[in-house]
Amino acid sequence: MWLDDELVGEELALFEAWVLGQPEHLAAREETRRWRSMIASALPASEEPPYPDFFNTRIAQAIRDQTPKATVAPEKRRFSWQAILMPLAACAGMVLAFWVGTKSQPKVEIDVAGAPRAIPVEQIIYTPESGVKAELIASQDASAMVIVLDGVRAIPDSTDFSETTYVPVGREFDSTASVETAISDLEAP
């Protein structure tokens, strides 16, 4: 401790008196002082951190962030008859208003005899071609309906139905068809 100048008071005085006759101890102390002086001259004991103001601000912010915010305790609800009676009174009022409403409205009598009635109408089947007679046969039991056309000319065998139907050409084919079918369709004249 004496080497590092940590002795004080009476201890220091006693030791100093003794060490006067010990040159190697005195030299060691000087050596230690020289050493500490060299280290202290090269390495700073204090060095302001970069952006010192920001340094402080960040610490203050961190402290504020971790401080629990004062929460307002929910006010304890006291039991009150008013809290129960008010909804009951509201419900009773609504029922009463409904009842009064039904009692105050005049009764409307519906005259069933004077109401318009459905008139049975014969079914008419329209045919665009004159001379053709159409007859409708409907069977509820069979859940079927047949229309018989009398007077329609016979359809000749030479009639080309393809003229009345749409046949896709070129690339207009179903994308789900197989590749072979699609190619054969394209190759067909």
Partner 1 sequence: MNKSNGEPSKIVQGPVGSIDSDNSMDDPDDDFRLVALAQKGDLKSYDALVTRHRGRIFAMIRNMIHQEADAWDLSQEVFIKAWNALPRFEAKARFSTWLYRIAHNVVYDWTRKRKIESAGELNDEIFERERIDSASFTTPSGGESPDTSMSLGELRMKIQVALNKLSAEHREVVLLKDVQGLSYKEIAEAMDSTLGTVMSRLFYARQKLQTLLKDEYESR
Tokens 């007859």 found at: 135
Burial 18-48 (b: 16+ CB within 10 A, else e): eeeeeeeeeeeeeeeeeeeeeeeeeeeeeee
Which one of residues 30, 36, 94, 132 is an interface residue with partner 1 (CB under 8 A)?
Answer: 36
Does residue number 49 form part of the binding site for partner 1 (CB under 8 A)?
yes
Residue 26 binding partner 1, by CB under 8 A: no
Q: Which is nearer to partner 1, 64 or 77 (CB)?
A: 64
Whichever of 22 and 57 has its CB closer to partner 1, that residue is: 57
The angle subtended at Cα 145 by Cα 139 and Cα 146, nearest 5°, is 115
Task: Decide the pairing of beta strands 144-150 and 133-139.
Answer: antiparallel
48 near partner 1, rule: CB under 8 A: yes
Query: Of 49-57, 76-84, 112-120, 121-129, which part binds partner 1 (CB under 8 A)?
Result: 49-57
Q: Site residues (CB under 8 A) for partner 1?
A: 1, 4, 6, 32-52, 55-56, 58-60, 62-64, 66
